[in-house]
Amino acid sequence: MFTVENYIDSIKIHLEKQSGLVEDQLQKIFSYPFSKDIEVLDFTAFIEPTRFELSVIMFSMDKEANEVFNEGNDSTVFAGSEDVLQEVEYHQMNDSQLEVFFEFHEQNEEKLIPQEQSVFAQWFRLCWEKAGGASLNLPSYFTIHDSDDSLDLKNNCWMDAEEKWS
């Protein structure tokens, strides 16, 4: 009933529907006058697999992996976090199929999880690129929350998540 290819294709179709919204939000973010204390932009995806929901938040960080906040000292610059995408559905499933789907997912997780992560990351990278992300003067990364890897958005290569702080 379920196939890896059909499931991944479904994710791609659902994400594509959100591309314009994400690109618009990224263009807005890219126009911010970033605080000089910000050294890294970390775009983190939060995935809720039981509800097939995805959200993305941009965190402004320093090289010690600390979030940089604007302590109210300078209202002319931005520091902090910003929603890029709020809880959107990346796959649809009838409630009556959920149990069978989750069994399928568990049986195929070694194939599915890396493909899911790649689809999320490459979709986001394309949105980032279309929104003008390459013109940013800040290193920018895409990470799936609780993952050990990050996608360097400027160089389109995966790296250990800890490397972005060095």
pLDDT tens-digit readout, 1-29: 789 999 999 999 999 999 999 999 999 99
Q: What is the pLDDT of residue 98?
A: 93
Q: What is the tally of structural domains in the chain?
A: 1
The alpha-helical segments, DSSP class H, found in 31-108 are 98-107
> What is the dihedral sign for C-alpha 137, 18, 150, 122?
negative
pLDDT of residue 55: 98
Q: Residue 72: inside a domain, yes or no?
A: no
Position 157 in a domain: yes
pLDDT of residue 166: 83
- Sheet containing 140-144, strands listed edge to edge, beginning at the edge strand earlier in sequence: 81-89, 53-61, 40-48, 140-144, 149-152, 157-160
Please report the pLDDT score of residue 85 as a whole number.
Answer: 97
CA distance 150 to 140: 10
Assigned domain for 90 exists: yes
d(CA 27, CA 50): 31
Range of the domain at 146: 4-67+77-165
* pLDDT at residue number 61: 97
pLDDT at 81: 96
- Domain membership of residue 134 (yes or no) is yes
Q: Note whether residue 17 is domain-resident.
A: yes
The segments of the chain whose pLDDT lies below 70 read none
